[in-house]
Structure formats: structure tokens, C-alpha cells
Structure 1
């Protein structure tokens, strides 16, 4: 989860029921994410943070600002985004990627051809860099193909953190010491930075899976990792996301979801594939 904004919440920032409804409706319209009554404290904290940052006197004034400012809409979305991630999360899927998925992807390609992998949402870059590291360590053919890894997220602040490639020890806890030594440089306060060669090999761009207009410039992919995102959507949002994921895949391409997510109740457009290490979905 994202860190809580610091400081005390000002009394004027506590929204009425109608103001709360408007804020959550905006977030849903822009991102597809649902925030119900159980998340009230979470909503109020992040709303109070944005009100303080914009020097608005109360929620009513902030809503007026929000209605006319694309910049503030972006900042509000950033404030509500959940960024729980770390390196080698759900490692079994990376094992499936190198052992079973990529061999099928390259079956109809020649050495030197492009293999495109998309990490969405990429948050602060942990997953996208994990893909690059895993392939360098575990896929013998990594240098035989032109592998392009793209990370994208609706949270533009997280995208900037991903580009910087700096991480605290907690994010690296699952990485072997040899991997940390090979791909990270030591910095102050026990933090680490991705080495330049690796950082420059992964491209990060903002994109919103719920907004089709942000996706065409990304092109199509052979493999998409969209893990632990659909759990924040309602049924309608999931269908929109599923259709957009389908359209972003090449025919025969693979989609990897989080361990608690499934396409079975969302759409029948994908074919479920049972691998040794994971259940994945494929565009026919």
C-alpha cells in the first residue's frame, strides 16, 4: 500500500456523504477502481492530503478545482493508487515465463526478432525490472532475441520512481544476494539503485487500462503481466479491462494475472492454459 500522507487531517477536509460520493465517482470514472464505505478513512486521508497540497479551504472548493484541472485530476489519481509491490513477487510465474511461455512465443519467430513484454500496472518498476533480471538469469536465449520490456501505470508519480530505479531493502528482500550484487549499486541508507544498463533497457510510460485512448501508442505485445489489478475493479470495469488486454495482445499471446484473479467469470475471449508453474490465459 502507498505510504500515508503525513500530518493531521484538517477538519475542513472531511467530506459530506455527497462529496464522498462525488470523489469516489470521479476515481471510478477515471480509473475503474472501486472505493466503498469500508475505505472511507483511506479516502478521507488522501483527499485531505490533496486539499492541503492545493491550499483549498474545504472539499467544496477542491471539487471546483478538480472539475477544471487535468493536472489535479492526475494528482488525485496518483494519491489513490495502491503501490504494493516488490522484486520477484509471485516468482512461480517468472519460472513459467522462462520455461514454458517464451518457448511457445518464439516458436514462430527467428533469432533477432522482437519479443514484447508488458508489465501493467508496473507501479514503481519492481515487476518490470524483475522480468528483465529473471530473463538474464534464467532464459538462455535472452540474447538471441530483441526483448522489449515496457512498464506502464496510471500513477505518474510511480512511473517517475520506476525510471529512477531506486529501492529500499524491503523491495529487494526476495532477491538472491548474487542478483543484488550483479544488478544494483549501493547507495546511502541501505538503498540500492538499478545499474544503468538494466535501467535503460526497460521503458516506462503512463497508461490507463481503463482508458482505451491511452493504449494504441503502446502497440501489441506477446506477453502481458497484469497482476493484482482486477481485484480493485467491479464487474463492468473488469470487462472493459479484459477487452483492452485482449486487444493489446498479438494472436497467440499470453496474459498473466495475479494468483487470486481469473478471466473465467469476466470473458470467454481468452483460452485458459495450465502450465507446470502457473495458470495463464492466451489470446486464440
Structure 2
């Protein structure tokens, strides 16, 4: 490795601040090896002679293509089907039941999964609704799933998974909704068509304004990568994106109560979730 392609402490600080402004994600010093490795890989791939040259390109490239590629490289996508399944039970047994009880006119119910990662969560929601919500035939359901990583969105649209991704699925559901594709499992085409995948940066207000009128938001294990300010801003964006009475589901180690006072804490038998008050407009 040439000296020019080394990442100095100052380089790391500059990049960390820039990436935080763009994505809301803040890399701690403990992530230094991970960040340096990804930066050096992208510097080599773009034939950048130094960090300064690469950083200048990322900031000022008109197309923004390399910035998006770098974001894709820096985001971690690790998930599997039916992760934290108790929240899916809460979805069908409590949250949706309350929403339809308060909804006076028939309309589509909208669920947002963000980040989508490789699609296990939104497809898992669709499967759980098909299997466990008896009112499904009476209501239209729209599932939108979003991520900042464009490559992982393409992977999600393909719906092709390794054994690790499907390890928690009962064999009956695996046989019903998937088919073998070599060493992988391909999800049913109707399910692939049932989820609308979109790119979104939750730290970008303009991106978030394009996502509105949701009844339930699943945002699990994303906010742990943010600092307090970014968490608060994201919570406010989710509040604006929800219909009155809508719910947010966070990861088991996350708590909206420590982030924002906008939401009510709801302790259902299956899970603790966070609700936009019905009287909110």
C-alpha cells in the first residue's frame, strides 16, 4: 500500500463528519478499521491516488454515483425472516385490529419497512399477514420497503435467499412461498410484486416527505447507528409520515421514549410499540 493511499486520523475525522451529514450515521472510533478498509477499496477501484483526491470526487461528482456506491459499501445488511417475530404477532393481533376499528371508511392500510435490507422483513410481513390476519380479505394492504443502499434494494427485488435467511421459517411456509433455486430459495413472484421497494435516506427531509400516510412503520435496529440528534430528527419524520393512530416498531434494544416525546408508549400483550395519538393531525 502506498503512503498516499493511507487514511490518516484527520482523513478519518473529515470523512466521518461528511458521512454523518449525508446519512445520519456516525462511525465511532471502534469502527475505524471497517471504515478505512471500505475507503481504501473504493480508492483503489476508482484509481484515486490519495484520500484527498477520492474525497474531492465523492463530494463534488455531479452524478453522485460514487457517493451512492460508497454508501452501499458502508451500510451493514444483516437480517433473516421472522426476526423478532413477536412484533409480527403484535401487528396482526393488536395494532391492525385497533387501526381498522378506528377507521370509518374502507381504504388501503399502509405498512412501511425501513431499512429494507435484502427484503426478509417486508416479505416476512406479507407472509405473516397471509397466514395470520383473518381480515386480510376485507382490506387492501400496501407494503412499502425502503433503504439507502441501492444494491441491496436490487437484491431485495430479486427475492433470492440463502439457507441462513430462511432458517427460522417453518418447513410448511418454506414449501408454500419459496422454490429451490440451486443452493438458494426464491420467493414467490406474487410476493415479490406485493412489495414496493424505494430508495430513501431517512436523514434527508426531502426524501422523507415523499413517504406519507402510513399506518405502521417497522424501523428496527437502524437508530442504534445514529447519534441523539439524528435519532430525534428521524423520529419526527416518522411522526409526520404516520396517519393519526399509526404505530412505530423499533428493535428490542431501542426505545422511542429516550428519543422523542411525540409518541405514546403502547404496551400490548405481544410487544411494546409507539403510537402517534389519534387526535394528532
Q: TM-score, normalising length from structure 2?
A: 0.94
Alignment-derived partner of residue 39 in structure 1: 31
In structure 1, what is the Cα distance between the partners aligned to 2:105 and 2:177? 25
Give the gaps of 5 or more residues in structure 1. 1-8
Give the gaps of 5 or more residues in structure 2. none
Deviations along 1:41-81, one digit per CA (max 9) or x if unpaired, are 00011111211221212212111211212111111111111
SS in 1 for 2:135: coil
Q: Which deviates the most, 126-135 or 213-222? A: 213-222
Q: Which deviates the most, 135-144 or 273-282? A: 135-144
The match for 2:98 among 87, 104, 107 is: 104
Alignment of 1:81 with 2:75, yes or no, is: yes
In structure 2, what is the Cα distance between the partners aligned to 1:50 and 1:18? 18
In structure 2, what is the Cα distance between the partners aligned to 1:86 and 1:160? 17
Shift of residue 112, structure 1, vs aligned partner: 5.1
Alignment of 1:242 with 2:235, yes or no, is: yes
CA 1:111/1:244 → structure 2, altered by over 3 Å: closer, same or farther? closer
Shift of residue 218, structure 1, vs aligned partner: 2.3
SS in 1 for 2:179: strand
In structure 1, what is the Cα distance between the partners aligned to 2:188 and 2:169? 15
Alignment-derived partner of residue 122 in structure 1: 116
Alignment-derived partner of residue 42 in structure 2: 50
Alignment-derived partner of residue 228 in structure 1: 221
Q: Which deviates the most, 272-281 or 49-58? A: 49-58
SS in 2 for 1:143: helix
The match for 1:213 among 179, 198, 206 is: 206
In structure 1, what is the Cα distance between the partners aligned to 2:55 and 2:265? 44
In structure 1, what is the Cα distance between the partners aligned to 2:192 and 2:103? 26
Shift of residue 139, structure 1, vs aligned partner: 0.7
Q: TM-score, normalising length from structure 1?
A: 0.94
Deviations along 1:68-97, one digit per CA (max 9) or x if unpaired, are 121111111111111111110000000111
Alignment of 1:185 with 2:179, yes or no, is: yes
SS in 2 for 1:148: strand
Alignment-derived partner of residue 253 in structure 2: 260
Q: How many residues align?
A: 275
Shift of residue 12, structure 1, vs aligned partner: 4.4
